[in-house]
Chains A and B, each alone.
Chain A
Amino acid sequence: MTLERRHLAIETGFRVIRVLEDNLIFVSLLAIVAFFGVISDSFLSLTTLSTLFNQLPALTVVSIGMTLVLISGGIDLSVGSVVALSAGVIGAGISLFGLPLPLAACLGILAGALAGLANGGLGAYLRLPIFIVTLGMLEVARGLAYLVTDSQTVYIGAKIQAFAIPWGGSGVSASILVALTLVVAFEFLLRSTIFGRQIVAVGSNESAAEISGIDPRRVRCTVLVISGLLAGLGGLMNAAYLGSADPNAGIGLELSAIAAAVIGGTSLMGGRGSVIGAFVGVLIVSVLQIGLAQIGITEPTKRVITGAVIILAVILDRWRA
């Protein structure tokens, strides 16, 4: 009887470990939150939540695009600059040309999609190395962002901020709702649609995908356009949060997005990854930043710790696979 009970206990233990292992990133996120909650009195508060919600939307949507591109076996280094370009287009459109906000927003997102189309056309159809193409686009889009804003922060005003300002005291804004909806939608796209399967197939084995009747160029190009489009939306979110268009916005954002995707279990080799995972990756990076700041860690040390966490995530991922 006791023996049986012990067996049961051991079995349950193993099962718990298995579940924890399968959901390692969620567990890690909870552990980080718990850690800061214990150490800092002010961490588990509404202030922290609204800080988090302010930072979250742009990085989240950019990370969705990055995740899709990485799963297809590509990379998009231009997203940070495209965020600035889109914000710049929106700012210039409203302040200099007096366009209505919705039209300016659409133009900003369109600019992002065009940058993605250029990446996709050159990388997928002309078969240029996508790393170099998007590295070039990183410079091009940044330059264009400076050109449209005349290298100055363009003030837009309160109208656009409505998109980012939380409703009541909840901390929830339109921005964050859009970002969350997109996370769910793109996870669905990836898991449950033909196109999602095609992305995974191309990233997993391009030659086999082609023989299976999938056009790898079309798939690669489409995910880059999606990534550009989402970066364009990120630009809108960034401008809404700041109330202005900053041509220096999004510097280094591509690296944060790659880090979030990788923490979330996406393989840089392609063929594996998850949008939900990338979102949890975004949460981990952001919570870590806020938490470390709250307990008085200096900026240089914060960077050391964040970098170490990214490397640790890859080690854990390798060990599990």
Chain B
Amino acid sequence: MTAPNPRIVAKGVCKSFAAPVLRDVGLEIPPGCIHGLVGENGAGKTTLAKIIVGLEGADAGSLLLDGQPYRPTNTADSLGAGVAICAQELSLVDDLSIAENILLHISTSSWARIRRNSTHEKAWTLLDLVGLESANSRSRVGKLSLAEKQLVEIAKTLATDAKLLVLDEPTSALTAPQAERLHGILRDKARDGVTVIYISHRLGDVLNVCDRVSVLRDGKVRLTEDCGALSEKALIREMAGADADFEAPRRSAESPAPLHLSVDGLRTSKLPHAINFNCRRGELLGIAGLAGSGRTELLNAIFGLDKRLAGSVKIHEDGRTTEVRNPRQAIRCGIGLVAEDRSRDGVFRDQTLGFNVTVAGLGRISDRTGRLVRSKEASAVGKLIDALRVRSNGVHQKMRELSGGNQQKSMLARWLHCGSRLLLLDEPTRGVDVAAKLAIHEELVRLRNSGITVIAVSSELEELQSLCDRILVLSKRVLVAEFHRSDWSQQEILAAAFSEYAREDEPTSVAVP
């Protein structure tokens, strides 16, 4: 190879949070190359991008930028070195104008005087470039739609004149023509020698715009090849991995159980397409889909957290049918929700383990007057933390002192305490270690066998495949497929998860709250 010196080289990059996210990742990208990065949720794409721009530090390994050692510790470092990111989570200030947001990113000193006219001129050119003609550069970012915000974020990144651009899901909210326009800009940039790292779930886009593509799976680079030689199918196969068809046949033969939950024509502002499905008593139902495909929103809608625009959620029990309208009623109907973001929507970290377990079922540890009975509390909580093997120094230990896995088990304990018969679990094993994960899996199977219905969302297909009786697949907020244990393969499920994103003709409609 007589190629010029690579723009960026990554060697042996490793990173762990609770579990390893990146393992010995190596990449080499020359100037003027658009390099795609694809993989399932949690494959490590975003983490790698964050390491390259200094938002995360690598545990091991090294980066070279134009042959020089490169170790950014924040985005100011990486910007100074000519590396800019267009992040997945938008980093715009709603109360500033479009122009000011762009300036915020490129101003050289915190004390530099803001020169209005020149700022607006530069912003105007860039907005023109990305196709935001209609927007006045002086209007407030808070008033823009999600797609427009994403375009501003892209313009902001382009404004830096960086030599290495990292784009993490830049087109997730864009329509096909808007995305195509961006791709044209990227090709122009590449011709000028700028290197682009392009992360996307839209495999068609990746094959269309990129020169080369790498597939990440379980934190490792599985494949790096020129795009010309690849098809979407080949990418999906590589993302799913060789062990894609593994089977965990440890279910007993299904006996027809009575209907427990029925969801009919359910729509919320975050789920614009009507959703229909049923769930039987004692079923372990999985919900698969890419990040942002509406999985969390579906659980929240069932639980009554989001306002329902149409349709119904009904619980069938003891010959009676109850419609679920809000969280308090959902709980009375025996539904429990373990939210994805445990620290935000789950634990009371400064309170005790006992408090956390009993909070949803205080009526069960009190007498008729509403007075709490300590002895009832201690025995109820003690039984549950023994049964679920929550490791703690007792019911009075502060929740924040417990490990992630034990916190998660006590979230299960909370719903078991108040007698839930239908558990909605959003990423029940996220951020817990391997041992705790196995323990939670065992517990879920045990609950299921005792007649409790479980609906679990997970980004790990293997997890759903080994646990569930049935898997529903969401793609871009549409319920696209249903797979039974007897007839699923990881490739089919993944293909279903990508299916709505592949339909270029339809503009992505993302509801703005």
Q: Which residues of B contact A211 (CB under 8 A)?
A: 303, 305, 327, 337, 339, 345-346
The reply to whether A204 and B344 contact each other, CB–CB distance below 8 Å, is no
Asked if A315 is at the interface (CB within 8 A of a chain B CB), the reply is no
Select the stretch in A32-40, A60-68, A107-115, A192-200 that faces chain B.
A192-200
The reply to whether B359 and A212 contact each other, CB–CB distance below 8 Å, is yes
Q: How many A-B residue pairs have CB under 8 A?
A: 71
The reply to whether B349 and A205 contact each other, CB–CB distance below 8 Å, is yes
Q: Which residues of A contact B344 (CB under 8 A)?
A: 205, 207-208
Q: Which residues of B contact A200 (CB under 8 A)?
A: 348, 351, 355
Smallest beta-carbon distance B205→chain A, Å: 35
Asked if B196 is at the interface (CB within 8 A of a chain A CB), the reply is no
Q: Which residues of A contact B418 (CB under 8 A)?
A: 213
Q: Which residues of A contact B339 (CB under 8 A)?
A: 208, 211
Known contacts A209-B359, A215-B328, A197 near B372 by CB under 8 Å: yes
Q: Which residues of B contact A207 (CB under 8 A)?
A: 344-345
The reply to whether A213 and B327 contact each other, CB–CB distance below 8 Å, is yes
Q: Which residues of A contact B360 (CB under 8 A)?
A: 212-213
Smallest beta-carbon distance B348→chain A, Å: 4
Smallest beta-carbon distance B238→chain A, Å: 38
Known contacts A204-B351, A271-B348, A192 near B359 by CB under 8 Å: no
The reply to whether B355 and A197 contact each other, CB–CB distance below 8 Å, is yes
A197 to B362, CA, bound (A): 8
Q: Contact string, B337-374, partner A, CB cutoff 8 A, digits 1/0?
A: 10100001111111100010011101100100011100
The reply to whether B345 and A194 contact each other, CB–CB distance below 8 Å, is no
Asked if B455 is at the interface (CB within 8 A of a chain A CB), the reply is no
A232 to B508, CA, bound (A): 57
Asked if A272 is at the interface (CB within 8 A of a chain B CB), the reply is yes
Known contacts A193-B371, A195-B370, A200-B355, A210 near B350 by CB under 8 Å: no
Smallest beta-carbon distance B490→chain A, Å: 32
Asked if A201 is at the interface (CB within 8 A of a chain B CB), the reply is yes
Closest to B329 in A: A213
Q: Contact string, A213-229, partner B, CB cutoff 8 A, digits 1/0?
A: 11100000000000000
A195 to B337, CA, bound (A): 22
Q: Which residues of B contact A197 (CB under 8 A)?
A: 355, 358-359, 362, 372
Asked if B414 is at the interface (CB within 8 A of a chain A CB), the reply is yes
Q: Which residues of B contact A208 (CB under 8 A)?
A: 339, 344-348
A interface residue count range (under 10 / 10 to 19 / 20 to 34 / 35 or more)? 20 to 34
Known contacts A207-B344, A215-B328, A192 near B372 by CB under 8 Å: yes
The reply to whether B359 and A193 contact each other, CB–CB distance below 8 Å, is no
The reply to whether B347 and A205 contact each other, CB–CB distance below 8 Å, is yes
A313 to B324, CA, bound (A): 48
The reply to whether B331 and A213 contact each other, CB–CB distance below 8 Å, is yes
A271 to B400, CA, bound (A): 14
A212 to B410, CA, bound (A): 13
Closest to B344 in A: A207
A213 to B324, CA, bound (A): 13
Q: Which residues of A contact B349 (CB under 8 A)?
A: 204-205
A198 to B358, CA, bound (A): 11
The reply to whether A193 and B327 contact each other, CB–CB distance below 8 Å, is no
Closest to A207 in B: B345
Smallest beta-carbon distance A269→chain B, Å: 9
Q: Which residues of A contact B359 (CB under 8 A)?
A: 197, 201, 209, 212, 214
A313 to B247, CA, bound (A): 61
Closest to B414 in A: A212
The reply to whether A213 and B328 contact each other, CB–CB distance below 8 Å, is yes
Q: Which residues of A contact B362 (CB under 8 A)?
A: 194, 197-198
Closest to B373 in A: A192
B372 interface neighbour in A193, A213, A272, Cβ under 8 Å: A193
For chain B, residues 81 to 110, give those with C-beta under 8 angstroms from any C-beta of chain A.
none
A195 to B369, CA, bound (A): 11
Closest to B346 in A: A208
A272 to B348, CA, bound (A): 11
The reply to whether B348 and A205 contact each other, CB–CB distance below 8 Å, is yes
A201 to B359, CA, bound (A): 8
A73 to B328, CA, bound (A): 21
Q: Which residues of B contact A204 (CB under 8 A)?
A: 348-351
A207 to B305, CA, bound (A): 10
Smallest beta-carbon distance A189→chain B, Å: 9
A207 to B359, CA, bound (A): 13
Smallest beta-carbon distance A107→chain B, Å: 29
Smallest beta-carbon distance A22→chain B, Å: 13
Known contacts A200-B355, A211-B303, A194 near B348 by CB under 8 Å: no
Closest to B351 in A: A204
A208 to B371, CA, bound (A): 22
A287 to B205, CA, bound (A): 73
Smallest beta-carbon distance A75→chain B, Å: 19
A211 to B423, CA, bound (A): 13
Smallest beta-carbon distance A116→chain B, Å: 21
Q: Which residues of A contact B345 (CB under 8 A)?
A: 205, 207-208, 211
Q: Which residues of B contact A192 (CB under 8 A)?
A: 371-372
Q: Which residues of A contact B372 (CB under 8 A)?
A: 192-194, 197
For chain B, residues 26 to 77, give those with C-beta under 8 angstroms from any C-beta of chain A.
none
Q: Which residues of A contact B346 (CB under 8 A)?
A: 208, 211
Highest count of chain B CB atoms <10 Å: which of A201, A209, A211, A272: A211
Q: Contact string, B233-265, partner A, CB cutoff 8 A, digits 1/0?
A: 000000000000000000000000000000000
A215 to B359, CA, bound (A): 12
B327 interface neighbour in A195, A198, A205, A210, Cβ under 8 Å: A210
For chain A, residues 163 to 216, give those with C-beta under 8 angstroms from any C-beta of chain B.
192-195, 197-198, 200-201, 204-205, 207-215
Chain B residues in the interface with A (C-beta under 8 A): 303, 305, 327-328, 330-332, 337, 339, 344-351, 355, 358-360, 362-363, 366, 370-372, 414, 418
Sample of 24 A–B contacts (CB below 8 Å): A192-B371, A192-B372, A193-B366, A193-B371, A194-B370, A200-B348, A200-B351, A201-B348, A201-B355, A205-B345, A205-B349, A207-B345, A208-B339, A208-B344, A208-B348, A209-B348, A211-B339, A211-B346, A213-B328, A213-B330, A213-B332, A213-B418, A214-B359, A271-B351
Chain A residues in the interface with B (C-beta under 8 A): 192-195, 197-198, 200-201, 204-205, 207-215, 271-272
5 closest A-B pairs by CB: A212-B360, A213-B331, A204-B348, A194-B362, A194-B370
Known: A194-B366, A197-B359, A212-B414. 18 other contacts (CB 8 A): A193-B370, A197-B355, A198-B362, A200-B348, A200-B351, A200-B355, A201-B355, A204-B349, A204-B350, A205-B345, A207-B345, A208-B346, A208-B347, A208-B348, A209-B348, A211-B337, A212-B359, A213-B327
